[in-house]
Structure formats: structure tokens, C-alpha cells
Amino acid sequence: MGAKRRRIVWALGLVVGITCVAGAGQPGFTITEQMRTEAKIKQELMKAVLSWLSDGNVRAGDECDRLVHALLTTGEPSVHACFMGAQVANLRGKPLEAISAIEGAIEKYPDERAPVGLRVPTKVWGCFWIANLAKESGDMARAKRVYEDLLSTLKDMQTSDVVTYKTESIMTCELLLAEMEREHGQDKQKALSYLKAAEDAGEAGGARRAGIALRQSWARYESTRATKGSAVANAELPPVSDAFPAYELAAHHLFLTGISGSPLAGYVKGMNVVTKILVDRTVEGKHSQVDRDLARLGYGYDQHHKGNLEEAEKYFASLFEDDSFFSPVAGISLARVKKAQQDTGEARAVLDRVQSKYPGYDSVVTEIRRSWE
């Protein structure tokens, strides 16, 4: 398996929410009574959640609420228990309870590695998630405060605290704050200052270069769109010649914001439906284009990879119809899906539309056409 292939599978692991118990199976690891108690509650909670999701059973829903309370109040709940309880509360439409659970995790375990996916501390993952929950509940002021505090925290952290992702996390925070100021704060100049900061993030070597360069290009696009309009921004948009960094960025975002369904998705058989529920909720939301775009791109890629072409088509097509930095990436992805469906004529028509609306993608589209000959 090649390096890129391994990285793609790893990114998908973020989307479906691969979960593990830190330290399990290692020498000297001890199962405590608290762990046993939590494991029992989690097992019962998963049964209740699956029952509630399958048929909307009211009693199962009430049982979910009871078990979340038990999970969060029995002994000293682990960081994993806090986030699991938060995700169930989120599914149940109780964002304030979810936020409270995450705040508890941040207070008790600020520097402990988050229980899934990337090597990132709880205080970073938790704040991204809290801000997203605040946005979903319509509390834009709270979301903005959390992003501002998080940006300050990230800048003060040592690189080793978040391994290689400090710069990327800072840039993502700046892009989200720019959106908040532009769409909800009515402060265009402050939005532009956040975008300029993201543009000026600097360069990185090795595997990080593509991800940072992609975010810089995204920031420039948003700045142009804010000052000159979407038509000019689309016309001047340089191509994303390798789509993988965009898919990876989307996967990171779904993970950081809880939209991936972590740590429920993948925990037991049948729980991956949580990801689709949260993605669809995000896509239908009105508070953040960034969240909507990355949810569609990340989940569309996940479904394409799994061979669910009709599902992939739906999410890519929806994103392609919008004016977004990621729309041409979605358009090219949609064309590839159409080609896989043996609809070559429609695939070529989609490429024509990409080339017409985003002239900077001419070389990318031309190369794809040649590969299909």
C-alpha cells in the first residue's frame, strides 16, 4: 500500500470515528473499577441509542438520557466518557448538555490526548466542538468567543502539544473567525484581517506543505470574494491539482467539530449511521457555509471510497452548485463518480461546467479528459 493510500485510509478513519482506549494492550496497563463501570454503562447506552435511532422509540430515547447522566456522574468520568455522553446529548438535540459535558472534559483533562483520531489535546478538540455546537444552536456570540479563546490558546502552545498540526489548526480557526465576522459580526475589515493572517501563515516542509498551501489559497479566495465578488474570485481561483489535501482537510474538520460522529461512529456495529445524521444536520443548517461545504466534501469522498456512488453523487452535486472554494473540487469529484457510473457523457458535461466557471482549472480538466481517452 502506497503512502498516499495509507493517508487516505487514515483520513477516512477520522470521518468514521475510529475509537480506542489509550494504553489498552500495553505493558503495565490496568483495568480499573471505574473503567469496568463505564464500559457497562457504555454498552447499555449503545443499545439504547441504536434502538432510538432505528425506530424513534420514545422509551429508548428516555433511556439514552438516563444513561448519559449515569455515564457523566458515576465516579470520575474519563475523557472518552465525557465526549461519548456529549455526542449522545448532541444527537438527542440537547446542545447545552453536550457543551457542559465537553467543558467538564476540558477542565479535568485539558492536555490529555483526545480519545480519537489526530494527536490533539482535549482542550483543542473540545473548543472546536463547543464552538460548533454553539453555532448549531444559534449562539453566534458564544461561538465567536470560543474561537477567539482557542486561537489564543493555539498560538501559545508548543508545537509538540499538537504534533504537526498547530499551524493548520490556527489557520482553520482564523478562517472560521473570518466567516463569523463576515456573516454574523458585520465587521468586514476584521474578517479580512483574519484571512490575511491565514494567508501569511508561512511555509512548511514535507507532508504538511500541501495542507498549509491549500488553506492559504482558500484564505485568498475568501478575501477576493469579500472584496471583489464571487464571479471574480471564481475566475481567479487557482486549481487544486491534487484533491487529496482537500479531502484530508474536510476529514480533519469533521473530526474537530464532532460532525464525524466520534466517538460513537465505529464504536459498535451499526453506529456509523450517526455520521450521516450529523452531516445531514450540518448541510441543512444555516449558520456556517464552511461547515456545510466541508461536511459535503468529506462525506462525499467517504461514500465514493466505499463505493456508494449514489450517495457520493448527491453530496458532491450539492456542493458543486454553490459558490465555494471547494466547489470545483466537488465538480471534478462528481465527474469521476459519473464516469464510475458509466455515464461518460454526463461526466464530460460536468467537466465542461467546471472549466467554464473556474478557468483556472483548465489544465486539471484537460488532463482528466486525456486520461479518459
Q: How far apart are CA 72 and CA 75, in angstroms?
A: 8
Question: Is 360 inside any structural domain?
Answer: no
Q: How many domains does the chain have?
A: 1
Question: Is 322 inside any structural domain?
Answer: no
User: Considering Cα of 129, then 130, then 134, then 135, what sign does the dihedral take?
Assistant: negative
Q: pLDDT tens, 18-77? A: 344 444 444 445 788 988 999 999 999 999 999 999 988 899 999 999 999 999 999 999
Question: Is 60 inside any structural domain?
Answer: no
pTM listed for this prediction? 0.89
- Tell me, what's the pLDDT at 262? 87
Q: What is the Cα 336 distance to its own chain's centre?
A: 23
Question: Is 75 inside any structural domain?
Answer: no
Which residue shows C-alpha cell 420514545?
Answer: 58
Burial of 287 (0-12, 13-18, 19+ CB in 10 A): buried
- The dihedral region occupied by 258, where left means phi > 0, alpha psi between -120 and 50, and beta the remainder, is left
Q: Residue 342, CB half-sphere, CA atoms under 13 Å: how many?
A: 0
- Tell me, what's the pLDDT at 20? 42
Q: How far apart are CA 10 and CA 247, in angstroms?
A: 11
Which residue shows C-alpha cell 456495529?
Answer: 269
Grid cell, residue 325, equals 472554494
Given a cut of 50, the residues of the chain with pLDDT beneath it are 1-28, 163
Question: Is 318 inside any structural domain?
Answer: no
Nearest-10 Cα torsion for 68, 74, 80, 86: 30
- Tell me, what's the pLDDT at 207? 61
Question: Is 130 inside any structural domain?
Answer: yes
- Tell me, what's the pLDDT at 115? 77
Helix (H) or strand (E) holding 58: helix 58-73
Task: Say how many Å lie between the first and final Cα of the chain, rounded.
Answer: 27
Query: Which structural domain range is residue 229 located in?
Result: 3-19+116-311
- Tell me, what's the pLDDT at 116? 67
- Tell me, what's the pLDDT at 26? 45
Q: Which long-range contacts (CB under 8 A, 24 or more apart) does 191-199 make?
A: 191/226, 192/223, 192/226, 192/227, 195/219, 195/220, 195/222, 195/223, 195/226, 196/223, 198/171, 198/174, 199/223
Question: Is 207 inside any structural domain?
Answer: yes
Question: Is 218 inside any structural domain?
Answer: yes
Q: How far apart are CA 332 and CA 343, in angstroms?
A: 14
